[in-house]
């Protein structure tokens, strides 16, 4: 039996620094393992693309510029590869901002050039856009035969665009970090690897350092805890700048230095899986403060749960409040409230949830289990099966 030709279209692929890069390698590898598909990835003509990471599939680094005006060329490259299914990852760092409507034009043109190709879209983070700005994805979502989202928040945002629930599939995600590949990952080893003493409280952040992550608030909370509360505390920032706001990372480092925290915050820049594993092993509390409120699509928070850490994260009642985070033991605070963040850090450190609860939570989010479910739901979308009811709170 011949395999179905599946082409994943993504502006990002490792080592391009974008959350979609790791997602693409995760799903491409698992589609190959299913034995059902002849898999290819069409991505950017970028010197950072590391084609050696592909295992059992081809990477075509051919698109020099992802833009609305280049949609015809992108469609021709897709047709040259003769896929039966085109799986579009939207958005990515290569088509965001002013170019975030690129894939809407590509899908619209592709459907008219080759109507027999089945277009499936994994729509990431649509709910984080302002409601009026989501229209730029309307043509993409309308052109696709199936849309995959990872959480209920994005599901509701897609429905809000007038898309039938009959073609929306919910597929939960887990962490991309490969914890099981590293030996001797414990607090003592982690502190040695990261150059951090074990005295006091280690507070970790993991992810891209972006304005909407409020890393500056975390820095001010660390200062407040050291000065007003006289607590020995060290910050660990596991992540680097993002192409959308490259200067924010530098501004955060300058703020830390100005507040006298140069020797009390460790900055890794873009972190490897090994750095993340050891960094989270030496942490006592994890902090992530998305401006529009956190939810269960935040893989950095899921990663911290897998590392069995107490978590301080954000709620923003103007946008979203995810009750599932509280059920999973997270302390939720307003994203710009320095005093609330500082108090929550102390509460987590001084009254840590019991180890049995943290272990049970990690087991619920086991990457192998969740990613297997994710791939099965993708396959259902490829086939056009009826969407299943999925509990995304895991």
pLDDT at 391: 59
Residue 51 lies in a domain: yes
Residue 28 CA to its chain's centroid (Å): 16
Mean pLDDT of 256-260: 96
- Given a cut of 70, whether residue 266 has pLDDT beyond it is yes
Residue 235 lies in a domain: yes
Q: Assess whether 200 and 108 both reside in one domain.
A: no
Q: Assess whether 121 and 143 both reside in one domain.
A: yes
Q: Assess whether 374 and 360 both reside in one domain.
A: no
Q: What percent of the chain has pLDDT over 70?
A: 98
Number of domains in the chain: 2
Q: Assess whether 143 and 244 both reside in one domain.
A: no
- Given a cut of 90, whether residue 235 has pLDDT beyond it is yes
The CA–CA distances, whole Å, from 157 to 1, 108, 133, 143 equal 39, 20, 11, 17
Q: Assess whether 252 and 337 both reside in one domain.
A: yes
Q: Assess whether 12 and 109 both reside in one domain.
A: yes
Confidence of residue 217 (pLDDT cuts 50, 70, 90): very high
Given a contact cutoff of 8 angstroms between Cβ atoms, the answer to whether 43 and 51 are in contact is no
Residue 266 lies in a domain: yes
The token pair that represents 39 in the structure block: 């898999």
Q: Assess whether 278 and 190 both reside in one domain.
A: yes
Q: Assess whether 222 and 95 both reside in one domain.
A: no
Q: Assess whether 190 and 91 both reside in one domain.
A: no
Q: First vs last Cα of the chain: how many Å apart?
A: 35
For all residues of the chain together, what is the average pLDDT? 91
Helix/strand/coil (H/E/C) assignment for every residue in the chain: CCCEEEEEECCCCCCCCCHHHHHHHHHHHHHHHHCCEEEEEEEECCCCCCHHHCCCCEEEEEECCCCHHHHHHHHHHHHHCCCCEEEEEECECCECHHHCCHHHHHHHHHHHHCCCCEEEEEECCHHHCCHHHHHHHHHHHHHCCEEEECCHHHHHHHHCCCCCHHHEEECCCCCCCCHHHCCCCCHHHHHHHHCCCCCCEEEEEECCECHHHCHHHHHHHHHHHHHCCCCCEEEEEECCECCCCHHHHHHHHHHHHHCCCCCCEEECCCCCHHHHHHHHHCCCEEECCCCCCCCCCCHHHHHHHHCCCCEEEECECCCECCHHHHHCCCEEECCCCHHHHHHHHHHHHHCCCCHHHHHHHHHHCCHHHHHHHHHHHHHHHHHCCCCCCCCCCC
- Given a cut of 80, whether residue 180 has pLDDT beyond it is no
Supply the range of the domain harboring residue 287: 179-365
pLDDT at 68: 94
pLDDT per position as a tens digit, 122-176: 999 888 888 888 899 999 999 999 999 998 889 999 999 999 999 999 999 988 8
CATH number at residue 54: 3.40.50.2000
pLDDT at 393: 45
């Amino acid at each position: 039996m011949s395999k179905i030709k599946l082409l994943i279209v993504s502006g990002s692929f490792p080592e391009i620094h974008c959350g979609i890069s790791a997602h693409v390698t995760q799903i491409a590898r698992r589609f190959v393992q299913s034995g059902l598909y002849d898999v290819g990835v069409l991505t950017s003509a970028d010197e950072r693309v590391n084609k050696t990471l592909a295992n059992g599939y081809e990477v075509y680094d051919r698109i020099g510029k992802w833009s609305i005006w280049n949609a015809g060329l992108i469609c021709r490259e897709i047709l040259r590869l003769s896929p039966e299914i085109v799986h579009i990852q939207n958005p990515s760092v290569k088509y965001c901002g002013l170019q975030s409507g690129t894939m809407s034009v590509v899908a619209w043109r592709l459907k008219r050039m080759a109507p027999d190709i089945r277009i499936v879209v994994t729509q990431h983070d649509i709910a984080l856009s302002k409601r009026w700005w989501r229209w730029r994805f309307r043509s993409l979502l309308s052109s696709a035969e199936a849309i995959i989202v990872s959480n209920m928040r994005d599901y509701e945002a897609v429905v809000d665009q007038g898309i039938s629930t009959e073609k929306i599939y919910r597929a939960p995600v887990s962490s991309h970090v490969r914890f099981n590949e590293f030996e001797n990952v414990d607090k003592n080893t982690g502190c040695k690897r990261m150059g951090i003493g074990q005295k006091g409280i280690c507070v970790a952040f993991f992810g891209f350092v972006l304005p909407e992550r409020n890393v500056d608030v975390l820095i001010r909370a660390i200062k407040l805890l050291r000065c007003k509360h006289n607590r020995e505390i060290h910050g660990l920032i596991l992540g680097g700048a993002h192409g959308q706001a490259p200067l924010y990372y530098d501004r955060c480092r300058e703020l830390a230095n100005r507040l006298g925290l140069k020797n009390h915050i460790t900055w890794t820049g873009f972190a490897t899986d090994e750095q993340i594993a050891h960094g989270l092993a030496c942490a006592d509390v994890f902090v992530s403060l998305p401006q529009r409120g956190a939810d269960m699509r935040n893989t950095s928070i899921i990663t911290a749960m897998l590392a069995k850490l107490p978590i301080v994260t954000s709620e923003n009642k103007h946008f979203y409040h995810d009750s599932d985070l509280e059920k999973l033991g997270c302390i939720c605070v307003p994203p710009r409230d320095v005093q609330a963040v500082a108090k929550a850090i102390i509460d987590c450190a001084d009254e840590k949830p019991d180890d049995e609860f943290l272990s049970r939570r990690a087991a619920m989010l086991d990457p192998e289990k969740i990613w297997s479910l994710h791939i099965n739901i993708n396959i259902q979308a490829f086939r056009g099966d009826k969407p299943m009811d999925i509990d995304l709170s895991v």
